[in-house]
Amino acid sequence: MKRSTTLTTLALASALALAGCGTSGEETAGEAPETTTSAAAGTGSTGTATATPSTSAQAVTEEHNDADTMFAQMMIPHHEQAVQMSEVMLAKDDLDPDIEALANKIVAAQGPEIDQLKTMLETWGEPTSMESGGMEGMDHGSDSGAGMEGMMTEEQMQELEAAEGTEAAEMYLTMMTAHHRGAIDMAQEEVAEGQNPQAIEMAQKVIEDQEAEIQEMERLLQQIQG
């Protein structure tokens, strides 16, 4: 009887000890995930909060000078006209496939660059249009001394809209070549005098892309003129 009582007591003590360990383990296990979750949430929150500004900062930095501002403000209407000229061509019937491909390429390249230029100016706290009144306040002829070389006059744009067939293709290539050369001049000035790294990088891309397109347009023009 005494032996049975002793075994029962030992069994009860063991059970209580195990229960105590289990309770301690459950509490520890319960606390650890809570701490981990809290830490992970904090890290995630911090990561999310800092990722967006960091990405924006990398996209466009605030440092800039007058040359950067001028480049962006002038290149916006310059690009807009190139897109407009290309869309005029794309609306024509029986368009040569090579001309169509070129016009589509110009729209695809310069459309997004317009948005990037506007983002730059907004980041710098600068107006997105020329303070002198924008395009209406400037001479847009290819011989303009105001830094907008290559811009077509309204009369030239109307002539392009009215032209058809080979005449339209030849006019488009000739006008766009002059337009591109004007953009390259502006971009080269930005590379030489600008400060903002993103604006300079875009200017370098404009030079590279549009020099290549000028060569393509000269080749197409030679084919048309035979």
First to last CA, the chain: 122
> CA distances (Å), 12 to each of 23, 24, 52, 54, 110, in order?
16, 18, 60, 62, 83
Least confident of 30-34, 38-42, 119-123: 38-42
Residue 73 and residue 121: Cα distance in Å, rounded?
A: 8
Residue 216 and residue 176: Cα distance in Å, rounded?
A: 11
The pLDDT tens digits of the residues spanning 156-214 come to 999 999 999 999 999 999 999 999 999 999 999 999 999 999 999 999 999 999 999 99
Residue 186 and residue 147: Cα distance in Å, rounded?
A: 7
The mean pLDDT value for 87-115 works out to 97
Residue 50 and residue 37: Cα distance in Å, rounded?
A: 20
The residue assigned the tokens 């706290």 is 125
Tell me: pLDDT of 5 over 60: no
Question: What's the chain's average pLDDT?
Answer: 78
Kindly report the pTM of this predicted structure: 0.69
Residue 226 and residue 207: Cα distance in Å, rounded?
A: 28
Smallest CA-to-CA distance from 71 within 148, 155, 178 is with: 148
Place 21 in a pLDDT band, splitting at 50, 70 and 90: very low
The residue assigned the tokens 């520890």 is 28
Domains of the chain, CATH where assigned: 66-125+151-225 (1.20.1260.10)
Place 129 in a pLDDT band, splitting at 50, 70 and 90: confident
The mean pLDDT value for 6-35 works out to 43
Percent of the chain scored above 90 by pLDDT?
A: 64
Tell me: pLDDT of 6 over 50: no
The alpha helices in 61-196, defined as continuous H runs, are 66-90, 97-124, 154-162, 165-193
Residue 49: helix, strand or coil by DSSP?
helix
Answer yes or no: are the C-beta atoms of 160 and 169 closer than 8 Å.
no
